[in-house]
Amino acid sequence: MSALEESKSEPRRRIQFAFTDEQEQFRAAIRRFLADKSPTTEVRRLMATAEGYDPKVWRQMSEELALPGVHIPEQYGGAGFGMVELCIVTEEMGRALLCAPYFSTAVLAGNAIMNAGTEEQKAKLLPDIASGARLATLAITEPNGNWDPSSIETVSRFRIDGAKSYVVDGHIADLLIVAARVPSSSGRDGLGLFAVEAKDAGVERRQLESMDPTRKLARIDFRGAHATLLGELDDGGKRIQRTMDQAAIALANEMMGGAQALLDSAVKYSKMRVQFGREIGSFQAIKHKLADMLLEVELAKSAAYYAAQAAAINDPEWPALASLAKASASESYLHTAIETIQIHGGIGFTWDNDTHLWFKRAKSSEIFLGLPSYHRELLMQRWGV
C-alpha cells in the first residue's frame, strides 16, 4: 500500500487554528538553534561557497534536533510527526535564511519517497535521509522551466535519459529522485518517480549561477544512468503532484518565516532612524506602510498554517489550499521585501545591508514551484471553477 492510500485511512481530525504548547516549544528550540548557527555572517559566508552549507551544522541539526526526519515515520528512523511540524521547521529556517540542503533532502526527496516508494524501498532509503547521513533531492522541472508534470520529457525504464534543471541542491545530493516517463507515453500517463545515484557514470551535474545564492540550483543531464522506479508507475502523476503540493505548503511556510524576519527588521529600523528631527516610524507614510505589511504577512501566514493543518489531516481540499498558500505567500513575501528595502532608504539596496539576502530568497521563491498566477489558476481549477 502506498503512502497515498495509507494517509487516506487516517482518522479525520479537525483543523486547528492554534499551535499546541508542544509545537510552540519545538518552534522555540529550533529558533534558538538557528539564532546561534545561522546569523547573517554565516549566511554570507556559506552563500559564497560552492557547497552552500556547513556539514557540521547539518550534522548537529540531524543528531541533536532530528530535523531531516521530523515528518518521517519512526519505523523508517524519523521522528514520526507530520506536515504541521515540518512546516514549523521550514518557517524557522526561512526566518533565519539557513543555508542547508533541508528543503531538497527532507521536504522534496523525503516526501517523494514516502509518497511513491514500496515498503522495501522506504525501509532502504528513508533512514539515511532521516538521520541526515545522505543528502537527496527531487528533479522534476526540465530546462523548459515548466512545473506541470505533463511537460516532462525525460524517459526512463531501467536507464534514464534526459535533462533536468532548477534542481535544488542538485550539485551536492547523493540521491536523486527523478520524475520521468516511460518511453512513448505522454501527458499525465506513464509518469514515474525514479531513484538515481548521483555518482552514476551516466549523471552529469553542473551548478547554475542562481540569483538567490542561499539556495543552490543545478542542471543535471542523464545519459543512460541506472534508475530504479519507486513503487509503481504513477499514472496521472498523482504522487508527483502530491509531492509538489506538499512542497508548495512547506515553501509557503518557509516564505512566511522570511517575511516576518523582514517585517521585524523594517519595524526596528523605522524606530531607530531619525530624519527631520523625528524617528521615521512616527510618520504616517511609514506607519501605514508597516501596518499594511503586517496585514499582508498575517493573512498569508493564516493561509500557510491552514494549508499545513489541512494536509496533516488529509482534508479533501488540501491540494487547492496548497496552491492558495503558495500564491498568497509569494505575493506577501516579495511585497514585504520590496517595502523593507524602501523603508531602509539608500542603505536598503546596498550589499552590506542584509535585506537583499531575504529579497533574493523572496524573489526566487516566488518563481520556484510555480508563479502566483500559475497557482491561482490551479486553485480555481481545484475549486471546480
Partner 1 sequence: MSTPTEAEVRTEVREWIAANWNPDMSLLEWRTKLADSGWGAPQWPKEWYGRGLPHSLVRVVQEELAAVGAVGPAASGVRMLAAATLLEHGTDAQKKKFLRRILTGEDTWCQFFSEPGSGSDLAGATTRADLKGDFWIVNGQKVWTTSAHHADHGLLLARTDWDVPKHEGMSYFVIDVKQQGVDVQPLKQMNGHASFNQVFFTDAKVPKENLVGKVGEGWKVAMTTLAHERRGADGLAPPSKKGRKEGRIHAEERAENDKANEPYRWYPQRAGRVDLILERAKETGADKDPHVRQEIAKLMIMAKSAEWTARRARAAQQQGRPQGPEGSLGKLAASHVARGCARVHTMMTGTEAMLTGKESPREGIIAEILVSVPAVSIAGGTDEIQRNIIAERVLELPKEPRFDTGPFRNVRRN
Chain residues binding partner 1 by CB under 8 A are 16-18, 267, 270-271, 278-279, 281-284, 286-288, 290-292, 294-295, 298-300, 302-303, 305-306, 324, 327-328, 373, 376-377, 379-380, 383, 385
The least distance separating partner 1 from the CB of residue 374, rounded to whole angstroms, comes to 10
End-to-end CA distance of the chain: 32
Q: Which amino acid is at 345?
A: G
Q: Given the complex with partner 1, which of 125 and 266 has the nearer CB atom?
A: 266
**C-alpha to C-alpha distance for 341 and 347, rounded to whole angstroms:** 8
The least distance separating partner 1 from the CB of residue 333, rounded to whole angstroms, comes to 14
The least distance separating partner 1 from the CB of residue 321, rounded to whole angstroms, comes to 9
Q: Are 344 and 269 in contact (CB under 8 A)?
A: yes
β-strands 175-181, 136-139 pairing: parallel
Q: Given the complex with partner 1, which of 21 and 209 has the nearer CB atom?
A: 21
Residue at grid coordinates 534558538: 32
Could you tell me which residues are beta bridge partners of residue 205? 220
β-strands 217-226, 155-156 pairing: unpaired
Q: Given the complex with partner 1, which of 14 and 56 has the nearer CB atom?
A: 14
**C-alpha to C-alpha distance for 123 and 107, rounded to whole angstroms:** 18
Q: Are 339 and 332 in contact (CB under 8 A)?
A: no
Alpha helices in the chain (DSSP H): 3-8, 21-37, 40-47, 55-63, 83-96, 102, 111-116, 119-130, 238-272, 284-312, 318-344, 355-367, 372-382
Q: Given the complex with partner 1, which of 230 and 313 has the nearer CB atom?
A: 313
Q: Given the complex with partner 1, which of 137 and 328 has the nearer CB atom?
A: 328
The least distance separating partner 1 from the CB of residue 288, rounded to whole angstroms, comes to 4
Q: Given the complex with partner 1, which of 199 and 384 has the nearer CB atom?
A: 384
Q: Given the complex with partner 1, which of 186 and 381 has the nearer CB atom?
A: 381
Cα separations in angstroms, 125 against 66, 128, 129, 167, 168: 16, 6, 7, 19, 19
The least distance separating partner 1 from the CB of residue 85, rounded to whole angstroms, comes to 18
Q: Are 286 and 280 in contact (CB under 8 A)?
A: yes
The least distance separating partner 1 from the CB of residue 96, rounded to whole angstroms, comes to 20
The least distance separating partner 1 from the CB of residue 233, rounded to whole angstroms, comes to 32
Q: Given the complex with partner 1, which of 12 and 14 has the nearer CB atom?
A: 14
The least distance separating partner 1 from the CB of residue 362, rounded to whole angstroms, comes to 18
Residue closest to 107 by CA, chosen among 124, 129, 125, 131: 129
Q: Are 240 and 148 in contact (CB under 8 A)?
A: no
The least distance separating partner 1 from the CB of residue 376, rounded to whole angstroms, comes to 4
**C-alpha to C-alpha distance for 178 and 181, rounded to whole angstroms:** 10
Residue at grid coordinates 543545478: 218
Residue at grid coordinates 515540518: 86
Q: Count CB atoms within 10 A of the CB of residue 114.
A: 27
Q: Given the complex with partner 1, which of 8 and 278 has the nearer CB atom?
A: 278
